């Protein structure tokens, strides 16, 4: 029995998120179908996270225990043979048996992309938020800096049965920068609440609109009230950029 860590990337525009649902096509369903064709099936897949409908991933991690004898370095090509063009396995390596894609995760980095131009770009439909008024990225970067640190992010969470208990998360990076006509919000933390990044973006856009100022962010955090923050930005601009694990999981099996 081996435990494998598989990373994949996907365009989420055509899927109802990662996790299997009834009567809706998801990334997990498609991935498991390809895995069954390669290994014969039966593996219990552990995912690093759940992405919602329309959210994308540049690096998504899953772990699974398998008795398949296929070498890890050959598994990506074998899986990609059965995956559609908008999902691709990027790597596979052996990890310790106690490794878990979700519970061994030390943190994640997300990016949110905004197409900031008066005219829409058809090639970015479903892949970036179109915001046609000029964005002051310096102003939004000042506002985003208040997200950094350990805070109770209740105001930045759509609460349901998934979010119970401790709402404190430690944000290590929060910045807004411009790349041509794209404005990108990048945020890294030890964990994220449901819709947290999208509400962060919606709040930043309220700052852009003059309805909030950067100095209002600490008060919104202290309020611990979803009504204090801005709206939830659309899913189309959200990307899971990176998933962070420790050295033990990265190095296991690579020296053999």
Report the C-alpha dihedral over residues 247, 185, 140, 107, rounded to 10 degrees.
Answer: -30
In sequence order, the β-bridge partners of residue 182 are: 115, 179
Neighbouring C-beta atoms of residue 66, cutoff 10 Å:
19
Rounded to whole angstroms, the Cα distance separating 104 from 111 reads 22
Which residue is catalytic, options 11, 44, 52, 160?
52
Neighbouring C-beta atoms of residue 175, cutoff 10 Å:
16
The question of whether 52 is a catalytic residue gets the answer yes
Residue positions annotated with a catalytic role? 52
């Amino acid at each position: 029995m081996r435990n494998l860590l598989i990373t994949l990337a996907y365009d989420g525009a055509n899927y109802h998120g990662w996790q299997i649902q009834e009567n809706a096509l998801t990334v997990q369903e498609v991935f498991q179908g390809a895995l069954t064709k390669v290994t014969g099936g039966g593996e219990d897949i552990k995912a690093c996270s759940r992405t919602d409908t329309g959210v994308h991933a540049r690096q998504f991690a899953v772990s699974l225990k398998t008795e398949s004898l296929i070498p890890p370095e050959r598994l990506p090509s074998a899986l990609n043979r059965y995956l559609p063009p908008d999902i691709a396995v990027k790597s596979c390596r052996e990890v310790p048996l106690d490794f878990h894609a979700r519970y061994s995760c030390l943190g994640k980095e997300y990016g949110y992309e905004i197409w900031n131009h008066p005219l829409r770009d058809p090639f970015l439909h479903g892949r970036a938020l179109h915001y046609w008024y000029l964005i002051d990225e310096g102003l939004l970067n000042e506002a985003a800096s208040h997200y950094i640190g350990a805070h109770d992010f209740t105001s930045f969470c759509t609460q349901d049965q998934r979010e119970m208990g401790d709402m404190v998360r430690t944000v290590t990076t929060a910045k807004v920068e411009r790349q041509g006509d794209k404005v990108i919000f990048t945020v890294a933390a030890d964990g994220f609440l449901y819709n947290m990044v999208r509400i962060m973006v919606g709040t930043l856009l309220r700052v852009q609109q003059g309805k909030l100022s950067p100095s209002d962010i600490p008060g919104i955090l202290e309020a611990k009230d979803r009504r204090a923050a801005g709206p939830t930005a659309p899913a189309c601009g959200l990307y899971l950029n990176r998933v962070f694990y420790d050295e033990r999981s990265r190095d296991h099996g690579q020296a053999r």
